[in-house]
Structure 1
Amino acid sequence: MDAYGASVLRTAYFYTGDRHLAEDISQEVFLKAYRGWRAFRGDSAVKTWLISITVNACRDKMGVKMFTEQPTDPSRMQRGRTISVEEEALARLGKSELLQQLLRLSLPHQEALYLYYYLDLSTREIAEMLGAPEGTVRNRLHRAREALGREMTKEASTHEP
């Protein structure tokens, strides 16, 4: 938990947008990992295995209603610190433009960018985690970068005088 707890919590928060639900999911993830430790074959890194469990737990909890609420930037979460309601409201109002643009993308593109850039997982690790071919992950990353670039260009052109 010390080594990967923050990554698991941030991933759950990224998927759910709810700190309390993310904390519950994080606890479930580590319970599942503890119970299934003997089944872990070591085919992937422990971090990849835990993030995979986290993604699946979030999908189970949230179903197709993921991202109905706009989550705040997960980098704002601080380990071991409870955020007050006021801080959470201010954080939601001041969330980064990049995250707002990221959330306009389709879920597979959001997921690819988050796992690749934020959690620093390789395309092979992401493919294993999602049960998709590595080429599909690379394609999602490519299309997500293009879509994000279009969103950023569109946003910049609307703010020009």
Structure 2
Amino acid sequence: MSREETVEWLMDEYGKKVVRLAYTYLKQEQLAEDVAQEVFIRCYQKFDTFRQESSYQTWIYSITVNLCKDRLKSWSFRNLVFSDFFSSKGISHHTPESSVLHLEAKTELSQSVLGLPIKYREIMILFYYEELTYKEIEDLLGVSSQTIKSRLHRGRNMLRKKLKGGEGND
């Protein structure tokens, strides 16, 4: 397959998953969709540098996580989130992806997971929702499997407390 065909296949195969993963970091549908577009642009641009030491899924998720972390650190993101908090009702975009994200975000569990600190949230999403192995998460985030196990344990305990009304129920 040519580069274009491969990237098109990647978009079909992983597009929705990338949007969902980005949403777990950014908590805004439009920003998640923007990051997903940027992910596949990077895939196209960096396709020749993919060494196939990992799966396409791990490569794409790595790009997604890094772009989301960069976005979270940026001044414009922090300013946009602050502005959105005070703005009136935003414009709703009804796409299949946004409908799925909206439905998922309404569940109590989804809200609780999204409320976790990012270092626990990313591990929970990658392990339970994306069903990555410890090794894949280790490669993706650059942390040891012991750290992954520890964060999963702490994240589960935080969720248990939130869901039982222990702390932070808004």
TM-score range, shorter chain: 0.7 to 0.9
- The alignment yields a C-alpha RMSD, in angstroms, of 2.9
The 2-side partners of 1:153 and 1:17 are apart by 23
Q: Deviations over 1:83-105 (max 9, x none)?
A: 58xxx9xx58x811112322332
As a proportion of its length, which structure holds more helix? 2
Is it true that 1:81 corresponds to 2:81 in the alignment? Answer: no
Is it true that 1:125 corresponds to 2:136 in the alignment? Answer: yes
1:8 partner amino acid: V
Is it true that 1:10 corresponds to 2:20 in the alignment? Answer: yes
Identical counterparts, % of pairs: 38
Q: Which residue of 2 aligns with 1:139?
A: 150
Runs of 4+ in structure 1 deviating by more than 4 angstroms, as ranges, are: 67-70
Q: 1:82 to 1:43 in 2, by over 3 A?
A: closer
Q: 1:52 aligns with which of 28, 39, 62?
A: 62
Q: Number of aligned pairs? A: 141
Q: 2:52 aligns with which of 27, 37, 42?
A: 42
Q: 1:62 aligns with which of 52, 58, 72?
A: 72
Q: Which runs of 5+ in 2 are unaligned?
A: 1-10, 86-93
Q: 1:105 to 1:22 in 2, by over 3 A?
A: closer
1:130 partner amino acid: L
SS in 2 for 1:125: helix
SS in 1 for 2:52: coil
The 2-side partners of 1:101 and 1:16 are apart by 15
Q: 1:105 to 1:24 in 2, by over 3 A?
A: closer
SS in 2 for 1:154: coil
Q: 1:124 to 1:82 in 2, by over 3 A?
A: closer
Deviation at 1:80, TM superposition (A): 5.3
Q: Which runs of 5+ in 1 are unaligned?
A: 71-78
Q: Which residue of 1 aligns with 2:33?
A: 23
Q: TM-score, normalising length from structure 1? A: 0.75
Q: Which residue of 2 aligns with 1:148?
A: 159
